[in-house]
Amino acid sequence: FDIDLAAVPLIAFAAPLLLLRSERLRNLGNTLIGLALMLLAIHILRDAVTHFSTLSSFENYITLLRGHGHWSPLLFVLAGAAMTAVLQSSSATTALAIILCSTGVIPFKCAMALILGDNVGTTLTANIAATMTNTDGKRAALSHLLFNLVGVLWALPLLAVLARGIASLVAAFGGVSPLLNGSPSQAVALALFHTLFNVVNTLLLAGFIPQAAHALDRLIPGDRHAKRASPLEGSALVSTSEMGLYQARENLALCMKRGGELTARVKTYFGEVNADNAQELFLLVRQRSDEEQTAYKQLEQQLARLTQQELSQEGRLLVQAMNQLLTQLRAATWLSVTAAQVIRRKKERNIWFTQPMREDLGVYFSIIQEAYFITHNNLTSDREGLPQREDRRIRMQAFLEEFSVSLEEKYLNPDDEQETHYQAAVIFAELTSCIGRLAMCVLKIAEGTAQLEQDHQ
């Protein structure tokens, strides 16, 4: 199969898509062109390997790596890690290993060892980037390295067994054993090994995530006196003209998303029956609320700085609209915390709601989550779906108004006059009032984000 025959027509088909107005079709065009360029790169790499594999210096280098008996796989692992660290692309060195093996330059097991080294070498870039991040970033980069190192430690001693297993799997589907030099199935077998190795390694280590996190905490201890990172994106908020507008818009979308997460925690707190877990959830809600207030203050300061810049009339209107949405977000956060406080009183007094009460509250929570989802998508998703999301919001708002009226009539006069039921009715009325206002507030925010998109598209 000639890769050029697929890559060039693919570019010819995808290039006109970049000129269309539809964002989805433009994204499809970018994806297809990226695929075509990758195919061309593999074609160029294959031709280059075919050329330099005939050089005496390269043959001597391969002979040197292969001439150490049982230590040869380890040397190929180190060579793969070094090549990936230099190229900063495990995909490139994996493709190189496949080409070297399929052209008969190196045997199948050595190519497998080279791919194992690729997995280790690719972590170098992340660890270099992590030197400029906080403690959690350094831990994440180190976990990437340790994850791949553990995979190499268990796979390298079993390399011969794994090679025979892959060969048996290929043979079971009618292919020629990849253990034979020059076998046409070696490329497929190596790609299969690469995939299966990462899947198996993930499954083996997935059960040790808490232990790994504890070990990383000890390897890279955090600074107790370190300043808490900004809840918003970026370590320093940009305040310069249009770039500042773009970042403020992204930060506003992030606040919308975090507001939905806060409400989800309130819902989880409502359904938690374990006293200790409930207390932790309540403290978590308060902590997240404080973080949100910090984020709102930072965004408010950023918007204030933007008003001092030379903005267009449209830019000033955008800042004004975002300030209005920020005010509504503050109100939504306050209502979420108030709802959590009402739920706390309910739990402290051991008051239980009936199943219909819980289902009615669930309707409110579902509306809030859907409304937050719409607000976030209005700011981050394509504008083509805006009419559908706005139609969904209008129908939800009409349903909410009817539902609130019916709920008030339903629980206005409780049938049972016993004290426990009366207390439950009072707490339920207070909670539904708070949650209902929260739902209406978020729907108004969704309406504001839709208007924001329509006015500034």
What is the mean pLDDT for each group of 10 consecutive residues in the chain (457 residues)?
Answer: 74 88 86 87 74 65 70 84 81 80 80 87 80 76 89 89 88 81 80 90 88 86 51 49 75 85 89 86 88 86 79 79 87 90 88 85 88 83 78 88 81 51 80 88 86 68
Neighbours of 41 (CB within 10 A): 16
pLDDT for position 382: 67
Contacts of 102 (CB under 8 A, 6+ apart): 184, 186, 187
pTM of the model: 0.49
Nearest CA to 412 out of 396, 427, 429, 400 is that of 429
- pLDDT value of position 203: 92
**Tokens matching residue 98:** 């496949």
Report residue 116 CA to chain centroid gap. Answer: 26
Given its phi and psi angles, is residue 450 left (phi above 0), alpha (psi -120 to 50 degrees) or beta? alpha
Per DSSP, the residues of 238-306 read --SHHHHHHHHHHHHHHHHHHHHHHHHHHHHHHH---HHHHHHHHHHHHHHHHHHHHHHHHHHHHHHHH
Q: What are phi and psi of 230, to 5 degrees?
A: -65, 135
Q: So what's the pLDDT on residue 55?
A: 62
The pLDDT of residue 199 is: 92
- Asked whether 302 and 244 are in contact (CB, 8 A), the reply is yes
Predicted local confidence at residue 289, as pLDDT: 87
